[in-house]
Chain A
Amino acid sequence: MLVLLCVAAVSFGLMMLSPIDPVDAYLGPQMAQVSPEQRALIAERWGFDASPAVQFRHWLQQLLSGELGWSHIYHQPVSDVIGQRVHRSFLLLGGAWLLSLALGILLGIAAGSNEGSWLDRLISGYAYLTASTPTFWLAMLALLLFSVTLGWTPTCCAGPTGVLSQEVTPLTRLHHLLLPTLTLALLGVATLTLHTRAKMVAFMRSDTALHAFAQGASRIDIAWRHGLGHASLPAITLAFASLGELFGGSLLVEHVFAYPGLGQATVAAGLRSDVPLLLAIALFTALFVSVGNLAADGLSRLTDPRTRRSHTNE
Chain B
Amino acid sequence: MSSQPRLIAAGYAALLALLALLLLGSTAWLGDSPTRMQFAARLLPPSPEHWLGTDALGREVWARTLAGLALSFQVGLSAALLGTLVALSLASLAMLSPLLDALVSLLIDTLLSVPHLLLLLLIAFALGGGTEAVIIAVALTHWPSLARVLRAELRHVHHAPYVAISRGLGKGQGFIISRHLLPHLLPHCLVGALLLFPHAILHEAALTFLGVGLDPTQPAIGVLLADAMRYLTGGYWWLGVFPGLGLLLMVLAIERFASMLREVLAR
Q: Assess A/B contact in the complex (Cβ within 8 A).
A: yes
Q: Which residues of A contact B (CB under 8 A)?
A: 2-4, 6-7, 10-11, 14-15, 17-19, 128-129, 131-137, 140-141, 143-144, 148, 243-249, 251-252, 255-256, 266-267, 270-271, 273, 278, 281-282, 285-286, 289-290, 293
Question: A247, B113: Cβ atoms under 8 Å?
Answer: no
Question: A267, B210: Cβ atoms under 8 Å?
Answer: yes
Question: A271, B240: Cβ atoms under 8 Å?
Answer: no
Question: B118, A140: Cβ atoms under 8 Å?
Answer: no
Q: Which residue of B lies closest to A267 (CB)?
A: B210
> Max chain A CB contacts within 10 Å: which of B109, B128, B206?
B206
* Across-interface contacts of A137 in B (CB, < 8 A): 225, 240, 244, 247-248
* Across-interface contacts of A141 in B (CB, < 8 A): 240-241, 244
9 sample A-B contacts, Cβ–Cβ < 8 Å, listed by A number: A3-B113, A17-B126, A137-B248, A249-B117, A252-B117, A270-B212, A281-B118, A286-B113, A293-B112
Question: B240, A132: Cβ atoms under 8 Å?
Answer: no
B12 at the interface (CB under 8 A from A): no
Q: How far is the CA of A131 from the CA of B201 in the complex (A)?
A: 13
Q: A14-B126, A267-B121, A278-B121 are in contact. List 4 more A-B contacts (CB 8 A).
A: A10-B111, A140-B228, A140-B244, A148-B232
Q: How far is the CA of A285 from the CA of B229 in the complex (A)?
A: 28
> Max chain A CB contacts within 10 Å: which of B125, B247, B251?
B125
Q: How far is the CA of A128 from the CA of B115 in the complex (A)?
A: 22
- CB proximity of A237 to chain B, nearest CB, Å: 15
Question: B128, A18: Cβ atoms under 8 Å?
Answer: yes
Q: How far is the CA of A293 from the CA of B106 in the complex (A)?
A: 14
Q: How far is the CA of A270 from the CA of B120 in the complex (A)?
A: 10
Question: A278, B210: Cβ atoms under 8 Å?
Answer: no
- CB proximity of B194 to chain A, nearest CB, Å: 13
B252 at the interface (CB under 8 A from A): yes
Given known A-B contacts A244-B116, A245-B116, A252 and B209 have beta carbons under 8 A apart:
yes
Question: A15, B110: Cβ atoms under 8 Å?
Answer: no
Question: A18, B125: Cβ atoms under 8 Å?
Answer: yes
Question: A10, B110: Cβ atoms under 8 Å?
Answer: yes
B233 at the interface (CB under 8 A from A): yes
Q: How far is the CA of A270 from the CA of B210 in the complex (A)?
A: 10
- CB proximity of B31 to chain A, nearest CB, Å: 27
Q: How large is the interface on B (under 10, 10 to 19, 20 to 34, 35 or more residues)?
A: 35 or more
- CB proximity of A311 to chain B, nearest CB, Å: 28
Question: B118, A128: Cβ atoms under 8 Å?
Answer: no
Q: Which residue of B lies closest to A129 (CB)?
A: B252
- CB proximity of B4 to chain A, nearest CB, Å: 16
User: Pick the contact of A252 from B206, B211, B233, B255 — CB < 8 Å?
Assistant: B206
Question: B125, A270: Cβ atoms under 8 Å?
Answer: yes
Q: How far is the CA of A286 from the CA of B110 in the complex (A)?
A: 9
Q: Which residue of B lies closest to A252 (CB)?
A: B206
User: Pick the contact of A132 from B116, B122, B232, B251 — CB < 8 Å?
Assistant: B251
The 3 A-B residue pairs with the shortest CB-CB distance, nearest first, are: A248-B117, A137-B244, A14-B126
Question: B121, A270: Cβ atoms under 8 Å?
Answer: yes
User: Pick the contact of A2 from B106, B123, B128, B252 — CB < 8 Å?
Assistant: B106
B61 at the interface (CB under 8 A from A): no
Question: A132, B110: Cβ atoms under 8 Å?
Answer: no
Q: How far is the CA of A246 from the CA of B112 in the complex (A)?
A: 13
Q: Which residue of A lies closest to B247 (CB)?
A: A134
Question: A11, B122: Cβ atoms under 8 Å?
Answer: yes
Question: A282, B122: Cβ atoms under 8 Å?
Answer: yes
- CB proximity of A258 to chain B, nearest CB, Å: 11
Contact with A along B227-267 (1 / 0, CB 8 A): 01100110001001100100110011001100000000000
B86 at the interface (CB under 8 A from A): no
Q: How far is the CA of A34 from the CA of B198 in the complex (A)?
A: 47
Question: A244, B113: Cβ atoms under 8 Å?
Answer: yes
- CB proximity of B238 to chain A, nearest CB, Å: 12
Question: A3, B256: Cβ atoms under 8 Å?
Answer: no
- CB proximity of B144 to chain A, nearest CB, Å: 11
